[in-house]
Amino acid sequence: MTKILFFDATNSWILVGCYLKTDDGNLEKLSEYRELHNRESSLLLIKEISNCLKVSDWEKPDIIVTATGPGSFTGIRISVATARNFSQIWNIPVLGIDSLELYTCQYYAESESPVCVGIEAKQGKIYFGLRDSRGYWGTLDIAPDMIPETIPEDRIGSYLTGIKFSDSPEFFAGTNMKESLPSPEASLLEKSSEIKKALSKPEDHSYLQLVPNYLRGTYADDKPKVYYT
C-alpha cells in the first residue's frame, strides 16, 4: 500500500487529503480538507496538512503529490515551497501536477463529458484547460475570445459542446468552481504509473526537481502561451 499526501493552494481554495493506494489499484480517502481560502493559504495550508495526517494516523506519507500551477503567484509559491520542504524533511519523493490538468480530470470523471476549465488570470486573460475522451489537451494563458481560433480543429467540438467550469463565471461563463470545488482523486488514479515510478526512483523526484508552473513569464506579454501534454 502507498500513503499519498496531496495538497493544492495554487488558486482560491485549499485542497488537502491523505489517500491510501491499495495493491489492487484502488484509492481510499482517509482524510480530506476542501475549502475556499483566498489569500489565506500561507496561514492554513500547513495546519490542515497536520490535521489530515493526524486524522489518518500517519507520521509521514510515502509520497507527496501537489498542484504546481498555473494560478495565483503567491499560492503557487506556497504549494511548491511546502512540498519541497516536507519532501526534504521526510526524505520522500514529490510529484507535481499541472493545476488545470488536475481539475479537468476530476470534472471529466464526474460528468463523463468533455470539460473546460477557466481560471481568471488578470490582464483580460484566463488560464484554460480542456479534456475529452482523448485525454488532457493542454494549458493556455489566453483571452477567452481567442480560444476558438487557438484550439486545433479536431478538438474544437469538445470545446463547443463540453461542460465549462470557471472560478469567475462573470468573466468566463461556466459552472462556478467555488461552489463545486475540484478533488484530486481522479488525477491520483490517472497518475498511478507516475507515482509508482517516483517511488521506485525517488532520486528522480526529489524536492530539487519540483518546479512551479507560473506559466506567465510577464504580465506585459500579450501573446498566448500553450503548454501541451
Q: From first to last of its 229 residues, what are the pLDDT tens digits of the chain?
A: 999 999 999 999 999 999 999 988 899 999 999 999 877 777 899 999 999 999 999 999 999 999 999 999 999 999 999 999 999 999 999 999 999 999 999 999 999 999 999 999 999 999 999 999 999 999 999 999 999 999 999 999 999 999 999 999 999 999 999 999 999 999 999 999 999 999 999 999 999 999 999 988 644 344 444 555 4
CATH classification (class only), 100-179: alpha beta
Pairing of strands 135-142, 163-166: unpaired
Identical topology for domains 2-98+182-204 and 100-179? yes
Domain ranges of the chain: 2-98+182-204, 100-179
Which triple of cell numbers denotes residue 103? 481539475
Task: Please tell me what DSSP assigns to residue 199.
Answer: H
CB-CB contact of 117 with 102 (8 Å) = no
CB-CB contact of 22 with 189 (8 Å) = no
Nearest 10 degrees: Cα torsion 132, 142, 185, 198: 100
CA distance 95 to 85: 13
First-to-last alpha carbon distance for the chain, in angstroms, is 28
| CATH code for the part of the protein at 2-98+182-204 | 3.30.420.40
Task: Please tell me what DSSP assigns to residue 153.
Answer: G
- Rounded to the nearest angstrom, the gap between the alpha carbon of residue 156 and the centroid of all alpha carbons in its chain is 23
The sign one gets for the Cα dihedral 28, 115, 14, 71 is: positive
